[in-house]
Chains A and B, each alone.
Chain A
Amino acid sequence: AQSVTQLGSHVSVSEGALVLLRCNYSSSVPPYLFWYVQYPNQGLQLLLKYTTGATLVKGINGFEAEFKKSETSFHLTKPSAHMSDAAEYFCAVNGGAKIIFGKGTRLHILP
C-alpha cells in the first residue's frame, strides 16, 4: 500500500530564505510522485512530478524536488522564498489505483 507523510503542518521562512518542505513516501511499487500547491479558495495546481528518469525534477515558480529512493523521500525546495509562495503544499503518490495525498504543509512567508 502507498502512503505519504509530510513533516510539519506549518513551516515559516523569511522572504529570500531557502524553502524546504519534507515528504516521505511508502510504496510497494515504483512510485510516481507529485507536489501540488493550493492557494486560498482555489483548487490544486501541479508544481512538479516525478515518474522515471532524472531524480532532480524542476517545476514551476522556481521549485524543484529530488527523488531519493534510498531515503524514500521527495522533498520540495526553492532557493529564495517570495511572498507569493505562501500557500498550502501537498505531496502525493500514485501507485496506480488512486492518488494518495499527504496532510499538507502550510507555508508562511515572513517579511
Chain B
Amino acid sequence: KAGVTQTPRYLIKTRGQQVTLSCSPISGHRSVSWYQQTPGQGLQFLFEYFSETQRNKGNFPGRFSGRQFSNSRSEMNVSTLELGDSALYLCASGPRDRSTDTQYFGPGTRLTVL
C-alpha cells in the first residue's frame, strides 16, 4: 500500500503571498490531520478532517485553512504568509477515529518564507 504523499516537498515563498499544500492519504483512510513543525515550537496540531468535515482545529490564526475532498485528499492553505510560517508541514492519515488509531505521517512539505 502506498504511504501518505505530500506535494510539493519544498516551497519558497515571499511574505504576503499565499500557499497551498496537498496531502494524499493512504488508500482507504478517511482522517487527515495537519501539523506544523518548527525548531522553537515543536510539533503543533493545525486541524483534522474526517469525511470532508473539519473535526478539530488547533490554535492557529484564520490565515491557516484547509479542506478535504470526497476522495479524502486534503489541502491546506496559508494566506498572507509571514516569516514565522517557515516550517515543516506534516500531514498524517488514519482509518477512522483518530483517538485510537495510529496516525501515518507523510514526508512533509518544507516551506520557507523570505
The answer to whether A43 and B105 have CB atoms under 8 Å apart is: yes
The answer to whether A43 and B106 have CB atoms under 8 Å apart is: yes
Please tell me if B103 contacts chain A, counting CB pairs below 8 Å. yes
CA–CA, A94 and B48, complex, Å: 14
Please tell me if B81 contacts chain A, counting CB pairs below 8 Å. no
Please tell me if A42 contacts chain B, counting CB pairs below 8 Å. yes
* Given A43-B107, A45-B105, also A32-B100 (CB < 8 A): yes
CA–CA, A42 and B33, complex, Å: 17
Q: What string of 1s and 0s marks CB contacts (under 8 Å) between A77-109 and chain B?
A: 000000000000010001111111111100000
8 closest Cβ pairs, A-B complex: A43-B105, A101-B43, A44-B105, A96-B99, A98-B45, A43-B107, A103-B42, A43-B106
Please tell me if B58 contacts chain A, counting CB pairs below 8 Å. yes
Interface size class of A (residues with CB under 8 A): 20 to 34
Please tell me if B80 contacts chain A, counting CB pairs below 8 Å. no
Which residue of chain B has its CB nearest to the CB of A102? Answer: B42
Interface residues of B (CB under 8 A from A): 4, 6, 33, 42-43, 45, 48, 56, 58, 90, 92, 98-100, 102-108
Interface centre among A44, A95, A97, by most B CB within 10 Å?
Answer: A44
Interface residues of A (CB under 8 A from B): 32, 34, 36, 41-46, 49, 51, 90, 94-104
Which residue of chain B has its CB nearest to the CB of A98? Answer: B45
Nearest CB of chain A from residue B95's CB, rounded to whole Å: 14
* Given A43-B90, A43-B107, A44-B90, also A101-B102 (CB < 8 A): no
CB within 8 A of A51: which of B45, B100, B104? B100
Q: Which residues of A contact B43 (CB under 8 A)?
A: 90, 101, 104
